[in-house]
Amino acid sequence: MQALEGKVAIVIGGSRGIGAAISRRMAADGASVAIIFRSRTQEAEALKSELDGSSTSVHLAQTDVSDQRALCEAIDEIASHFGRMDVLVSVAGMAIVGPLEAYADDAFDRIFALNVRMPFIAAKKAAELMAEGGRIITIGSIVADRMPGAGGTLYAASKAALGGMTRGLARDLGERGITANLVQPGPIDTERNPANGPNAAANRTPLAISRHGTPSEVAGLVAYLASSEAGFITGATYNIDGGWSA
């Protein structure tokens, strides 16, 4: 029996990069997968076609997840479509970087709306719909623990907030057996941060393992946290960073 057979997993930002790898792994482990995405419809539909070839069921929901009402409606629609939900993985996020004096007046509100409010609203809505034993997993960033250079104040602050949120969710939902955990990747080889990109060498400087990680490695950790084997793990932060934080 596959680890997630009979389960329904929602992956917010699940159509590309780390999110797509997580969607693939959820499907490979037997879950029905709902992928919430904002744009790039062609990529989302291509991933659905790929996964439809397996034994899993895949559902796409296109919405602006920074819009609270739209996000909640999308989660409600997915739960109605499948008749349940068991796993929520929040991947979507944004980075606003640059000199402190150059931040736009609305930069704080924009980045916290997507990087903090969105996963909180999604977790709150999911908790209303999940049965006992649900899983809430948020993808953060290792810069929450260690900021190696200038220009990332708001990004680091938004990712640091996720640790407190995760610990609070663990306490709020523990009596129902719903776990909440945070995964903090370091440099991962994706479109946004390619292993052969202009910043790649600098990104690898703090690492003990001198290479970029892969999306599938992150997905493997998420898959474990989503499984029944991780039922006694909650409120935890897992760094998958090649030793960035060592």
Catalytic residues: 155
* CB of 242 closer than 8 Å to CB of 205: no
CA angle 117, 119, 123 (to 5 degrees): 115
* Element at 10 (helix H, strand E): strand 8-12
How do beta strands 32-37 and 179-185 pair? unpaired
The torsion defined by the Cα of 158, 160, 162 and 168, in degrees rounded to 10, comes to -130
* CB of 16 closer than 8 Å to CB of 211: no
Chain centroid to CA 183: how far?
8
* CA gap 21, 145 in Å, rounded: 24
φ and ψ of 138, to 5 deg: -115, 140
φ and ψ of 35, to 5 deg: -105, 120
* CB of 142 closer than 8 Å to CB of 241: yes
Question: Which residues, including other chains, have CB under 8 Å from residue 186's CB and lie 6 or more apart?
Answer: 142, 207, 213, 239, 240, 241, 242, 244, 245
